[in-house]
Every structure is written in structure tokens, then in C-alpha cells.
């Protein structure tokens, strides 16, 4: 399973980006004395590792423009409509560094850019969550910022971090307002609702191999597009005990507003970095399910670590790209409509 971790906060400012915002030209005219164009991407797709990156890089439309940005692992490749893609590298730290590099680069203006993390994720042992399903995430929650330990019974256990929210003395329960510990971010409802609407008609792919695995896990054999919460951390884990901890963390940090549905490694780094610049409302997380967070019946956790758990990674990536493309098309269509009406 793919994962990530760290701090919190969600009192997200009203979404001033409301899709009409993206009406600026992607490639603005240079001001007097400027040596280069200031680019204003409408969308930046964030991928984590080579398979996710190559799914976009192989498309001819993204050969329109390539920009080398200090701090980026890969160049920023863009199409003529101002949609760009990059590979951040795996994990929270790589994601945060890459996003910060783009926000701070003098040749980019991302104040109105929609950042979409698009890739694969680990899924839950849930009857509705078939391999290849895609989650448009409503929350991004930290896995690792807390106390993971063995209980007196030598079973895995977890407790939340201590209260360090000095801006609200005595209030240790308001996890989504603590600016010092990035524990939970709620995705801007306007962006979330737009994404759900835009992807409603997308037909997801499926494979016979994935169906066989679905039967093995006794879960649905039909991939679906759903809304859920992703819990993110930089380690890899599997097993029922860890699944129970993930469920507990998500329930606690979201005050019961969300349920744990998938795990990844970058999302918290993305949104935490954006929040430092007041851009957390410009973020969306789209994740295709490549594996399940418990071993298949008859197999042990040790066996899974030896063989790997990315059972349906190609299918998960393909479906995540399809959903992301539908969302991007909707953004561009709204932008075009707004421009024509002005």
C-alpha cells in the first residue's frame, strides 16, 4: 500500500477560486523588462513515481511546453491549454518540496491553479471497494503524526499526539484547526462537488485478473467512482490491526465526518505545503485502488511483503487518469464558457 503523514488544519478560506477563477491565460504576456513569460497554469497534475508520470508524459499533447524548475524532480510538462504535469517523487517530503518549488518559482503564477494529485493508492477491506475503483477524496488525514506502539498485550496500538495548539489553549480536540500539527485537511467542498459532477459519466475499465482478486477478497467486482478519506504516511503497512488504527485515526481527526477508504504517500505533503501559502482550497486528490490493506485469505503478511501488494496497479492508474481527465475537461469547459461570456 502507498502511504504518507504529518500536520492539520481545515478552516479553509472560502474557495475564491470558484472555477470561473481559472479564466486567466495560461501563458501571460511578459511585462516590460521581463526576460521570460510568466506562466499561469490552470491545472497542475501531481504524479509520484514513474508509472504515474509516464501515463501522462506519453501523451503527445504534453509535449507542447516543458519547463525546468529548480527543486522539481521532473520538468513541468504542459499542453496548449495550460494543463501541466510533473512527478514529485514518492512520499510526503518529496511532495511538499516539489509543490513549494512550484509555488515559489518566479516564472509561475499558481494563485489560481488547481493542483490535482492523481495516482494509485491502497484500498480498504470493504465490499464496495473493488480493485480499480477511484476515490475523489473529501479529506486528507495524517497516519504517522501520533504515537504508534505495542500495547501491553503486544498488539499494535495508537494514540494521538499531545496538544500543541497554542492558538487555542486548552482545546486539544480541534484537530482540524491546529496549524502546528498538520493532522487533517478537508477538501474544499466546491472543488470536491465539481469533481464528483464532472466524473459522473466516466466508465471505468476492469480486467479479468482484477475480478478474480475481487472474488478472492469477497468484494465487489465492479470498479466505482466514490468519495472517501485518504490517510497518508511514508511507511508501508498491511494487516487488520493497522486497518483498525487507520479507521480510528480518520474517525477521530474528522470528528466522524469521514470514513477511511484509501492510503497514499504524498497527499498530506501536497496540501500542507499549499496551506502555507493560503492555497489549500485549490487542491484535489484522485486515487485509483491498486491493492487491499489486508492479505488475501490464505496468505500471511510476510508472504505479501515478499511478492508485493500492487495487484492491480496498471488498472488503478488507468482509471485514475480517466477520472482526472474528466475533471480537467470540465474545468477547461467552464473556463471557455466564462471567457466567451465576457
- In this prediction, residues 88-112 reach a mean pLDDT of 97
Q: Can you say how many angstroms the Cα of residue 324 is from the centroid of all Cα atoms in its chain? A: 11
Q: Report in angstroms the alpha-carbon separations of 3 from 92, 142, 197, 243.
A: 9, 10, 27, 13
> What predicted TM-score, i.e. pTM, was given to this entire model?
0.88
End-to-end Cα separation, the chain, in angstroms: 47
Q: Can you say how many angstroms the Cα of residue 106 is from the centroid of all Cα atoms in its chain? A: 25
Contacts of 74 (CB under 8 A, 6+ apart): 53, 86, 87
Cα angle for residues 230, 139, 92 (degrees, 5° grid): 55
| pLDDT of 30 | 45
Q: What is the DSSP string of 140-175?
A: EEESSSSEEEE-TTS-EEEEPPP---TTSTT--S-G
| Distance between CA atoms of residues 254 and 41, nearest Å | 31
| pLDDT of 300 | 82
- In this prediction, residues 150-163 reach a mean pLDDT of 88
Residue 339 pairs in a beta bridge with none
- For 205-246, the pLDDT digits (tens) are 999 999 999 999 999 999 999 999 999 999 888 899 999 999
Q: What is the DSSP letter of 37?
A: P
- For 11-70, the pLDDT digits (tens) are 344 443 444 444 345 654 444 444 457 899 999 999 999 999 999 999 999 999 999 999
C-alpha cell at 86: 510533473
Three-class DSSP category at 185: strand
**Domains along the chain with CATH numbers:** 19-23+39-337 (3.40.50.1580)
| Distance between CA atoms of residues 311 and 214, nearest Å | 10
Dihedral over Cα of 269, 118, 84, 49: its sign: positive
C-alpha cell at 176: 482540524
- For 71-97, the pLDDT digits (tens) are 998 999 999 999 999 999 999 999 999
- In this prediction, residues 140-166 reach a mean pLDDT of 85
Amino acid at each position: 500500500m502507498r502511504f504518507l503523514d504529518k500536520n492539520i488544519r481545515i478552516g479553509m478560506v472560502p474557495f475564491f477560486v470558484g472555477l470561473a477563477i481559472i479564466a486567466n491565460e495560461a501563458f501571460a504576456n511578459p511585462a516590460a523588462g521581463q526576460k521570460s513569460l510568466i506562466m499561469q497554469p490552470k491545472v497542475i497534475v501531481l504524479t509520484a513515481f514513474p508509472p504515474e508520470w509516464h501515463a501522462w508524459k506519453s501523451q503527445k499533447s504534453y509535449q507542447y511546453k516543458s519547463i525546468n524548475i529548480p527543486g522539481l524532480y521532473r520538468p513541468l510538462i504542459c499542453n496548449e491549454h495550460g494543463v501541466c504535469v510533473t512527478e514529485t517523487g514518492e512520499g510526503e517530503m518529496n511532495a511538499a518540496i516539489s509543490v513549494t518549488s512550484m509555488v515559489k518559482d518566479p516564472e509561475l503564477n499558481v494563485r489560481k491553479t488547481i493542483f490535482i494529485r492523481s495516482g494509485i493508492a491502497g484500498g480498504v477491506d470493504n465490499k464496495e471497494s473493488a480493485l480499480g475503483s477511484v476515490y475523489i477524496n473529501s479529506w486528507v488525514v495524517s497516519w504517522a503524526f501520533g504515537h504508534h506502539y505495542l500495547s501491553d498485550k503486544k498488539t499494535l496500538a495508537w494514540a494521538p499526539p499531545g496538544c500543541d495548539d497554542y492558538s487555542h489553549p486548552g482545546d486539544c480536540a480541534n484537530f482540524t484547526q491546529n496549524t502546528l500539527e498538520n493532522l487533517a485537511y478537508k477538501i474544499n467542498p466546491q472543488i470536491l462537488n465539481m469533481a464528483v459532477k464532472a466524473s459522473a459519466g466516466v466508465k471505468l475499465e476492469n480486467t479479468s485478473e482484477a475480478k478474480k482478486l475481487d472474488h478472492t477478497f469477497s468484494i465487489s467486482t465492479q470498479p466505482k467512482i466514490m468519495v472517501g478519506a485518504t490517510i497518508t504516511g511514508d511507511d508501508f503497512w498491511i494487516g487488520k490491526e493497522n486497518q483498525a488504527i487507520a479507521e480510528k485515526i480518520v474517525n477521530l481527526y474528522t470528528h466522524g465526518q469521514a470514513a477511511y477508504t484509501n492510503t497514499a504517500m504524498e497527499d498530506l505533503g501536497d496540501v500542507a505545503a499549499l496551506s502555507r501559502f493560503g492555497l489549500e482550497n485549490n487542491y484535489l486528490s484522485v486515487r485509483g485502488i491498486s491493492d487491499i490493506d489486508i492479505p488475501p485469505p490464505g496468505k500471511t503478511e510476510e508472504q505479501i511483503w515478499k511478492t508485493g501488494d500492487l495487484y492491480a496497479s496498471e488498472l488503478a492508474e488507468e482509471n485514475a487518469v480517466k477520472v482526472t481527465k474528466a475533471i480537467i475537461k470540465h474545468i477547461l469547459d467552464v473556463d471557455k464558457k466564462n471567457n466567451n461570456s465576457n
